[in-house]
Structure 1
Amino acid sequence: MKYQKVLIVLLTICFTGWVSLSCHTNESGGGELNDGLIGYWKLDGDGIDYSGNNLHAELIRSRKRPDSGSTNDTEHNDAWHQVSASSNLKMDDDFSISVWIDALSPDRDVSGDIISQYDVGRRKGFHLSLTTNPSPTGVGNSRRLSFGMDNNIASEWMDCGRPGQALLAFGLAEYNGDLYASTCEPEAGGAGHVYRYDSENNTWKDCGAPDRSNTVFALTEYKGALYAATGKYRVAGSSLPESENTQIGGRIFRYEGAENWVECGQLPGVEAIMGLVVYQGELYASSLYSPGLFKYEADNTWTRCSTPDGKRIQSFGVYDGHLFATSYDLGHVYRFDGTEWVDCDQVGQNNTQTYGFSVYQGELYVSSWPSGKVYAYEDIKQWRDVGRLGEELEVMGLIVYNGQLLGGTLPMAEAYRYQGDTTWQRMDQLDTTENVKYRRAWTMTEHAGRVYCSTLPSGHIYAYKAGETVAWRKSFPEGWHHVVVSKSANKLSLYVGGELVDQKSIPTSDSYHLSSGSPFNIGFGQHDVFQGRIKELRMYNRVLTKHQIDVLGSPD
């Protein structure tokens, strides 16, 4: 009798374990995880589609990066996989995307697109991207994981108010999921402040004035903290009455929350700091009114670096392993490798100033004065004219937002959308202040599914929305991470490591049939070639359950 009971217990344990294992195998190895599978690319050294739908991907090597060095197709440094347009590849109703990504260190390039299928002319498609958006002063978005989709659905530009007594917000930056603006407030007794946007009430919360100079020029995230750079802006440079505040700036601060700022150093002989950027793991700052480049060593310790031919360098962009810099002297762009500078020549024949960078479809773009044009970098001393923005004289901030390249201008403070070749479409005039010579649409940053643009001289900030976007509220860390995007009829959701990190409701009036007939790219898109590794990419024509997301995200 005793042996019979033992045998029954053993059989029960074995049967229960077999059922549990059988169910798990059905869930993870086949069965439900194969239901609704559109495509499955292991990306283990090839582009084979293991779903059975024959959506095999071809390896494409970039022809736009002549000096990018060696190619590693598994890390997509200058190559990606492309699936030809197919009726089997449809993203019209419910869908899910599951993928593992390893984003390399952000020190030497922007991170790029993980997947993308987008038609520029129809503004239709989707992208899963890791974006870094520079601004004319700092960095607006740093390693921002987002999924965006559009079907030519857009809002008008919306007035988001004026931070404090701003003449202009020189810097806009997203940090820990919040939008911050750094201002120029030139009146006597005033000072440049940093403000945090309260979207629910459409107001700006004061985060304090780091010092008493009239401007906080730049905002940049560095090693998980927000840094700000100050200066005395010569307002007459915008054809306005000179500032009554004569306090010199040239100092760097680290944000400690509320209205608290910790000083990290005064740059010697610097009246105003124009740019902040992170390159090769180091924080750099540039001087606005005199030549100067400085590298942060520790609080109150900055090393002076060389500048190209003693020229001023202003705004920064990290691209293809190098640090690029604009200049207000002779309209040149310069390239830095951490030791030496290379002159990339004058941009256009008549330009005397270059302003801001953006990386669009794998190429570096730069804006200019007084031609009102944007140019694409092809190689040392080779710049391609990609068109003038209306009849404007100056282009400042550029940004890639949900598949679109946008730019802001002077003297009418207009916003434009790039249509390809040399064509730009006017969107709106953002600042309509009367009786002034110049109005600026200065810098653009993405936040909470919208792009925000600052203006002068009204000091107001405006927002524009295209399609729907979900994003993670932090800079994406290094190492392997599992990412899932799911869309139902009324929700768009983003998961990282099995956790829901963002979710947006989809209005019933909006139709998101995303099939565009364009090629489907793995490791490339509207932003750049992905700098990292991608594996286990699966696409479904249904919404995955939380349990299925957990199974796909298992390290096993």
Structure 2
Amino acid sequence: MAIPTDNLVGYWKLLGDSQDHSGSGNHGINHGVDLDTSTFEGRGQHIEVPTSSSINPGHDDFSFCALLHTDQDVDDVHGDIVSKFNPDMRRGFNFSLMSSSGGYNSIGTDRRLAFGIDDGKDGAWKDCGKPSPTNVILFSLTVFEGSLYASGSNVRSPQEASHVYRYIGGDQWEDCGRLGFEPTQGVGGMVVHNGDLYGATTNWYGASAPWSLKGVSSNWDVSLSALTDRPVEEALLQEAYGRVYRYLGNKEWEDCGQPGENPRLTSLASYRGQLYALGPDDGAPYRSRAYVYEGNQEWIACGEFTNRGFPMAVHDGRLFMAHKGEPAIDDETGGARVHAFDGEQWEDLGNPLGTHARCNEIHSLGVFGGAIHIGTNPLGRVVKLEDGQWHDTGELGDSREVTALAAYNGCFYGGTLLWADVYRQERESRWQLMQRFLDEDVDPGSLAGRVPGILIPRDWVSDWALTSSLTVFGGELFASTSSCWDGYRSDQGSRGRVYRFRAGQNAAYDRDMGPGWKHVVAVKSGRRLEIFVNGLKVGTSGPFDPADYDLSTDHPLRLGSGEVDSLSGRMREVRFYKRALDQREVTSIHHESLSARDH
């Protein structure tokens, strides 16, 4: 079967030129793409196609096809494949490559697909339950091979400690086993690296703190002894340093060694083919170290920082990390700082807000609009780095700290500390409160006199809560909640729970489609969205009324770019149809496009 041409309104070979070869006149304007090799380097390169009636779908069906190539190793977010979206109206469509980066962790090497449409439509938040019955701290939500995994801490017994859980739908979670048998309380970082899921254990109280201080049950010490097969006295005295483990399936984890002597391994990252870990050194309370995995349980230190480090993220060829400030140093130099690693050395990028008083901790990193964004404490502001300069993008309501950042269906979301809120960026410096998870009554007078940019006294809320992780799974945005303080012990309420939310309509492919050349197709067909990879249907949205979604916008069609970031990879043989392709047509286009891989 020949490639269909019925209602083909755009055909960009992107090999030699950016012209429209469909005959519809929708010629592209090249913004830095290497058209000799069809390479988009993820640094703003894209093809702009000015809007026209033929590529403005409105309420109608449409199909987008492209031949994509990505590398195995990552040093940038994967980026957007195509977008025609008005962010001010939240109207249009987005088709993107993505990977999990929940909690403090950077993205993984997995390449998942997200296809979404929107016309300013929001669903309701839904409760997905507690991964562990007594867990009040969740660190990370990570997607791996079609499933959502959660890690956390602060449970009531060693039998529950240091487990990872898998979401199986509704409010139910499945136990995926314990990571090792060291006396650690939880699992912090998780990341997908070269086809495997890795997790890192953590200990809130330091490596040598007595376990009798860590639990609320008088049976904790005896239970720990039985679990580790050691005498009680020996189990209590054993130092508990964080270790990294690789998931083998079911409830089995392989020990990948101990990166230094760090009671808390806060984050994991995949960067240029290697696995990195970050954590504070127990012997030096104002030091953190980054480590790179050499294999065979061997970790090599590759960076040292002046205080406790938390998040990592990759962007534009560098690995970013951030750490707390040091109050003993003067205000100008003692604040929280961001550093960037190019594979050889770390560059100090300074304090995003200039002083310790304005930014003394950083707990989140995220990429949106082609820039790395930083979530700060104690003013609850998000700052982005553009052209080597920090730019303030605004305050997230009455929050004290921005604890999570994520892009979802063309918009940027932030999770915060105090009441476990989620905000959405509506304009450059305006953030809209989307949800408050803390279900306890708050004294209405506690916010009296609140002035934006002024610190919130600690005693205004007896026990703070936070949105600890945001990640996209199954076409929805998932959020986890946590207690802020390790001493919080109630099993009830919203802490330690997971929630989900849908904006617009979305189809997703939540498995790694792998590196190399892949043919991808996004189709809006009647009441559903569909995703195809190499001719096979791999994702479908739920049903919706197409009359509810007018996708008309005067914004251009952007090939290899969108609201998150420009594509990091190669793309050619791009087609846009103003109708829905069927399975047979998608298969035909896939087969006919294969010859273009070799040019």
TM-score band, normalised by the shorter chain?
0.7 to 0.9
2:261 equivalent in structure 1 = 269
Shift of 1:548: 1.7
Cα distance in 2 for partners of 1:396, 1:106 equals 27
Q: Aligned letter for 1:362?
A: G
Matched, 1:36 2:15: no
1:440 equivalent in structure 2 = 466
1:464 equivalent in structure 2 = 501
Shift of 1:250: 0.6
Greater gyration radius:
1
Shift of 1:267: 2.5
2:452 equivalent in structure 1 = none
Aligned equivalent of 1:521, options 531, 548, 558: 558
Matched, 1:343 2:309: no
- For residues 131-150 of structure 1, the C-alpha deviation after alignment (integer angstroms, 9 at most, x for no partner) is 23433322466422221111
Larger deviation: 507-516 or 42-51?
507-516
1:301 equivalent in structure 2 = 298
1:209 equivalent in structure 2 = 178
Is contact 1:347–1:354 with CA below 8 Å preserved after alignment?
no
Aligned to 1:551, the other structure's residue is in SS state: helix
Aligned 1:120-139 pairs, distance under 5 A: 120-139=87-106
Aligned to 1:550, the other structure's residue is in SS state: helix
- For residues 392-446 of structure 1, the C-alpha deviation after alignment (integer angstroms, 9 at most, x for no partner) is 1100110000111000111111110001221101111022246733110111011
2:40 equivalent in structure 1 = 76
Shift of 1:167: 0.9
- For residues 148-170 of structure 1, the C-alpha deviation after alignment (integer angstroms, 9 at most, x for no partner) is 11122221211111111211210
1:353 equivalent in structure 2 = 361
Cα distance in 2 for partners of 1:263, 1:270 equals 16
Matched, 1:498 2:535: yes
Cα distance in 1 for partners of 2:370, 2:36 equals 16
Aligned to 2:266, the other structure's residue is in SS state: strand
1:162 equivalent in structure 2 = 130
Shift of 1:301: 1.1
Cα distance in 2 for partners of 1:72, 1:340 equals 33
Gaps spanning 5+ residues in structure 2: where? 207-211, 221-235, 282-286, 326-334, 442-460, 484-494
1:545 equivalent in structure 2 = 582
Cα distance in 2 for partners of 1:399, 1:508 equals 27
Shift of 1:268: 2.8
Q: What TM-score, normalized by structure 2, do the two folds share?
A: 0.81
Matched, 1:191 2:166: no
Shift of 1:500: 1.1
Question: 1:223/1:261 Cα in 2 relative to 1: closer, same or farther (>3 Å)?
Answer: same
* CA-atom RMSD in angstroms: 2.2
Q: Aligned letter for 1:112?
A: G
1:508 equivalent in structure 2 = 545
2:480 equivalent in structure 1 = 454
Question: 1:385/1:71 Cα in 2 relative to 1: closer, same or farther (>3 Å)?
Answer: farther
Is contact 1:57–1:81 with CA below 8 Å preserved after alignment?
yes
Question: 1:251/1:71 Cα in 2 relative to 1: closer, same or farther (>3 Å)?
Answer: farther
Q: What TM-score, normalized by structure 1, do the two folds share?
A: 0.88
Cα distance in 2 for partners of 1:71, 1:337 equals 27
Q: Aligned letter for 2:524?
A: K
Cα distance in 1 for partners of 2:16, 2:36 equals 10
Is contact 2:259–2:300 with CA below 8 Å preserved after alignment?
no
Shift of 1:182: 0.4
Aligned 1:138-537 pairs, distance under 5 A: 138-139=105-106, 142-164=110-132, 165-189=134-158, 190-199=160-169, 201-211=170-180, 212-234=183-205, 243-244=214-215, 248-288=240-280, 290-308=287-305, 310-329=306-325, 330-349=335-354, 350-380=358-388, 382-433=389-440, 436-457=462-483, 458-508=495-545, 511-537=548-574
Aligned to 2:584, the other structure's residue is in SS state: helix
Is contact 2:277–2:291 with CA below 8 Å preserved after alignment?
yes
Aligned to 2:588, the other structure's residue is in SS state: helix
Aligned to 2:63, the other structure's residue is in SS state: strand
Q: Aligned letter for 1:210?
A: L
2:25 equivalent in structure 1 = 54
Cα distance in 1 for partners of 2:539, 2:584 equals 18
1:12 equivalent in structure 2 = none
